[in-house]
Amino acid sequence: MRALLVVNPQATATTPAGRDVLAHALASDVKLDIVETDYRGHAADAAAQAVVDGYDLVVAHGGDGTVNEVVNGVLREGAQPGLPMLGVVPGGSANVFAGALGLPRDPVEATYRLLQAIEHGTSRRVSVGRVSATGAGADHDRWFTFNAGVGWDADVVAAVEHQRARGRQASPTLYARTALTSYFSQRRQPPSLTVHIPEEPPFEDVRLAFVSNTDPWTYLGDKAIRLNPSTSFDGGLGLFALHGMGLPTVLRYVAHLLATDGNPKGGNLLRRDDVEFVRVTSPEPVNLQVDGDLLGACTEVEFTGVPGTLTVAV
């Protein structure tokens, strides 16, 4: 088996020693090449070249941004037969995709799990989401693995990226503080979104639209977040959208999500599970995030679920 290990040396929990242990362990079972990324998009370029060169396995060692880039590189020419299998060894601060798959977040444990999967030939076919966005002077097309959204969550991602550029390290505490600050900023100028779902009339005056590719997932360590309990890697997308962003509404849903096993309900909530696509439009540019990565602003975005697209070593 030919394998390419794509390492992001800047990821939060990635170290030279850990990279060497991982590379040594993999090299005992596969013919291994290694790429260390040194620019934004490098992981995607490396993974796309791995497809051209006929690699059997591409392993992403980094955070969710690295995994997302590798997935986008593997799928650069679209879903097709014969694509390399994906391996994931977490090295970031959140590692949401790995957690959602049930993979260990500890790099050493994840390496052992990957080696077992290679030895026994165990894998899983998973769906991925596709984002196509236009407006605000830019077009965006991107695959995503666990979630994407416009509104408050994307504003939080934008603010966190700004703080990381100034030297702050990403952490659950940073995200929580930023979410609180962004919430009050958004209350002054809330977006007015229109959500379109197949075979239903448009839903207007939506303030937040969040799309999941699986459930549960989390940015909060071992605490699962369940927005769409009937959504999974085996089906379509889940939609969680709010008509109101008043403090009582937000606090009620946050408390529900943190204190229960999911299945949120309410008059201000628009929720659908296992849908083929969701389109969101806005009269004003709004931020768009994909797998926790800011894509920029848009006025129209379509989220499409593509079942069974990716093979992951598990």
Rounded mean pLDDT, 289-297: 92
Angle between helical axes of 64-74 and 42-52 (0-180°, round to 10): 30
Q: What is the structure's pLDDT at 138?
A: 66
Final residue in a domain of this structure, among 101, 121, 141: 121
Q: Does 83 share its domain with 191?
A: no
Q: Answer yes or no: is pLDDT of 172 > 90.
A: no
Q: Which residue has the tokens 């602003």?
A: 297
Q: Does 111 share its domain with 248?
A: no
Residue type, 55: Y
152 exposed, middle or buried (CB, 10 Å; 0-12, 13-18, 19+)? buried
What CATH code is carried by the domain that includes residue 235? 2.60.200.40
Final residue in a domain of this structure, among 121, 147, 167: 121
Instruction: Pull the structure tokens for residue 209.
Output: 């639209």
Say what the pTM is. Answer: 0.91
**CB 201: neighbour CB atoms within 10 A?**
7
Q: Answer yes or no: is pLDDT of 313 > 90.
A: yes
* Residue from 238, 176, 186 nearest 207 by CA: 186
218 vs 188, residue with greater confidence: 218
Integer Rg of the chain from CA = 19
> DSSP state, 169?
P
> Mean pLDDT of all residues in the chain?
90
Q: Is the Cβ–Cβ distance between 53 and 24 less than 8 Å?
A: no
Q: Does 141 share its domain with 226?
A: yes
Residue type, 186: Q
Instruction: Pull the structure tokens for residue 249.
Output: 């509404």
Q: Does 91 share its domain with 153?
A: no
Taken in order 200, 204, 209, 215, the sign of the CA dihedral is negative
* Domains: count for the chain: 2
Residue type, 229: P
Q: Answer yes or no: is pLDDT of 108 > 70.
A: yes
Rounded mean pLDDT, 68-76: 97
Among 69-83, 148-162, 292-306, the minimum mean pLDDT is found in 148-162
Final residue in a domain of this structure, among 121, 148, 182: 121
Region label for 62, one of left (φ > 0), alpha (ψ between -120 and 50) or beta (otherwise): left
Q: What is the structure's pLDDT at 42?
A: 98
φ and ψ at residue 230, rounded to 5 degrees: -95, 10
Question: How many residues appear in the chain?
Answer: 314
Please report, rounded to a whole number, the percentage of residues in the chain having pLDDT higher than 70. 96
Q: Residue 174's pLDDT band (boundaries 50, 70, 90)?
A: confident
Q: Does 213 share its domain with 274?
A: yes
Tens of pLDDT, residues 178-203? 878 877 777 777 789 999 999 999 99
Q: Does 181 share its domain with 114?
A: no
89 vs 140, residue with greater confidence: 89
Q: Does 299 share its domain with 222?
A: yes
Q: Does 117 share its domain with 140?
A: no
Q: Does 160 share its domain with 285?
A: yes
Tens of pLDDT, residues 224-258? 888 898 999 999 999 999 998 888 888 888 777 77
Rounded mean pLDDT, 210-218: 92
Q: Does 12 share its domain with 88?
A: yes
Q: Answer yes or no: is pLDDT of 92 > 80.
A: yes
Q: Which residue has the tokens 């769409």?
A: 228
Range of the domain at 117: 2-121
What CATH code is carried by the domain that includes residue 24? 3.40.50.10330
Q: How far apart are CA 82 and CA 80, in angstroms?
A: 7
Q: Residue 86's pLDDT band (boundaries 50, 70, 90)?
A: very high
Q: Does 216 share its domain with 302?
A: yes
Rounded mean pLDDT, 247-274: 81
297 exposed, middle or buried (CB, 10 Å; 0-12, 13-18, 19+)? buried
Q: Answer yes or no: is pLDDT of 299 > 90.
A: yes
Q: Residue 261's pLDDT band (boundaries 50, 70, 90)?
A: low
